[in-house]
């Protein structure tokens, strides 16, 4: 087992995050042979094949094992476990309306998802840690003008583990542009993968939503696909309005990542998150929970 430490805001202590059944990931990211084969293994058709399995009834008997392995709190789940017909249907489960209360204070920046959060200043570090690799801001955004606009901004990296709730929400009221899909290779977000650094491999499939928010200015919101994830589902891919806490979509089976970029003068991240991020430690966070303040900058 691979042990990874994360910061718990409530207890103010570091906790062990244990990733089980990672022998395959150890091979892919930790061995020479795995690194050679990685470009071929991490293709969409492999993810699609595995995706079909986890969506089939054959995977239904894996649900209880998944619950036990990741210690999932079934009291939060909206439906009884017996009603799920596949592992994927359980993975994208809905929670009860009271399970993830949203901080409604307009000046409070909130998390879009259950995740492990890392925040850093792009003026100090121009590369983003994405799926276990470092990639330049310009390569990740795939738009020279946009990347230049956020070169001195804030980057929020939300890493979703398999145990997390994989639905995500909007962080404010506002309007969005049509979603732009950026093609790339899928990679795991397991901490084993996060120990490997190779910018050449950081071509990840991602969805970009440019959000014009009421309290945090223009925000670049990315959903990044991962190994064994066949699809990111979004409720709305067109230009439209949205409200704080409204469900934006979900990730299908696997771990994944949300990355948000903010103008430097638009927000102030919470100090405890910044302190831990400076040490390279992720902070446990839940969807709807406060992560900072807005300065009411508008674009």
Say what the pLDDT of residue 259 is: 95
Q: Which residue has the higher pLDDT, 138 or 72?
A: 72
Listed in sequence order, the residues at least 6 apart from 90 whose beta carbon sits closer than 8 Å to its beta carbon are 63, 66, 67, 81, 84
Please write the tens of the pLDDT for every residue from 243-294: 999 999 999 887 689 999 999 999 999 999 999 999 999 999 999 999 999 9
Strand partners, 64: none
First to last CA, the chain: 47
H-only helix segments in the chain? 23-30, 32-41, 44-55, 63-70, 87-91, 137-141, 144-149, 191-194, 271-278
- Residue 100 reports pLDDT greater than 60: yes
Please write the tens of the pLDDT for every residue from 125-160: 877 877 666 788 888 898 999 999 999 999 999 999
User: What's the mean per-residue pLDDT of the chain?
Assistant: 83
- Write down the pTM of the prediction: 0.85
Say what the pLDDT of residue 226 is: 59
pLDDT band at 188 (very low <50, low <70, confident <90, very high): very low
Least confident stretch, 7-21, 219-233, 259-273: 219-233
> How many Å apart are CA 212 and CA 278, to the nearest integer?
28
Say what the pLDDT of residue 256 is: 84
Listed in sequence order, the residues at least 6 apart from 158 whose beta carbon sits closer than 8 Å to its beta carbon are 111, 112, 113, 115, 116, 117, 257, 258, 259, 260, 285
Q: Which residue has the higher pLDDT, 166 or 186?
A: 166
Average pLDDT for 183-194: 53
Q: What percent of the chain has pLDDT over 70?
A: 76
Cα dihedral across residues 220, 132, 162, 231: positive or negative: positive
> How many Å apart are CA 1 and CA 229, to the nearest integer?
22
* Burial annotation 50-89 (CB, 10 A radius, 16+ → b, else e): bbeebbeeebeeebeebbeeeebeeeebeeeeeebebbbb
Least confident stretch, 80-84, 180-184, 206-210: 180-184
Q: Calculate the CA dihedral of residues 128, 296, 272, 14 and round it to 10 degrees.
A: -60
Please write the tens of the pLDDT for every residue from 110-130: 999 999 999 999 998 877 877
- Residue 200 reports pLDDT greater than 60: no
Q: Are 252 and 231 in contact (CB under 8 A)?
A: yes
How long, in residues, is the chain? Answer: 299
């Amino acid at each position: 087992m691979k042990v990874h430490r994360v910061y718990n805001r409530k207890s103010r202590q570091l906790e062990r995050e244990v990733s089980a059944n990672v022998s395959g990931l150890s091979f892919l990211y930790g061995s020479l042979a795995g690194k050679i084969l990685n470009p071929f293994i991490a293709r969409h058709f492999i993810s699609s094949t595995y995706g079909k399995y986890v969506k089939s009834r054959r995977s239904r008997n894996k649900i209880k094992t998944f619950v036990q392995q990741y210690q999932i709190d079934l009291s939060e789940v909206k439906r009884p476990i017996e009603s799920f017909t596949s592992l994927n249907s359980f993975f994208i489960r809905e929670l009860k309306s009271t399970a993830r209360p949203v901080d409604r204070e307009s000046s409070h920046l909130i998390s879009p998802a259950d995740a492990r959060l890392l925040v850093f200043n792009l003026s100090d570090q121009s590369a983003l840690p994405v799926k276990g690799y470092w990639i330049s801001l310009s390569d990740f955004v795939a738009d020279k003008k946009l990347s230049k606009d956020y070169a001195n901004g804030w980057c929020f990296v939300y890493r979703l583990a398999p145990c997390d709730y994989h639905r995500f929400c909007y962080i404010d009221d506002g309007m969005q542009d049509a979603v732009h899909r950026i093609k790339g290779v899928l990679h795991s977000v397991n901490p084993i993968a996060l120990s490997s650094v190779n910018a050449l491999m950081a071509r990840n499939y991602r969805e970009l939503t440019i959000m014009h928010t009421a309290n945090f200015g223009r925000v670049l919101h990315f959903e990044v696909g991962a190994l064994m994830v066949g699809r990111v589902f979004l409720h709305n891919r067109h230009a439209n309005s949205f409200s704080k806490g409204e469900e934006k979509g979900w990730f299908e089976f696997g771990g994944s990542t949300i990355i948000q970029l903010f103008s430097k003068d638009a927000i102030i991240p919470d100090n405890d998150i910044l302190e831990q991020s400076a040490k390279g430690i992720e902070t446990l966070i839940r969807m709807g929970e406060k992560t900072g303040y807005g300065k009411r900058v508008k674009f």
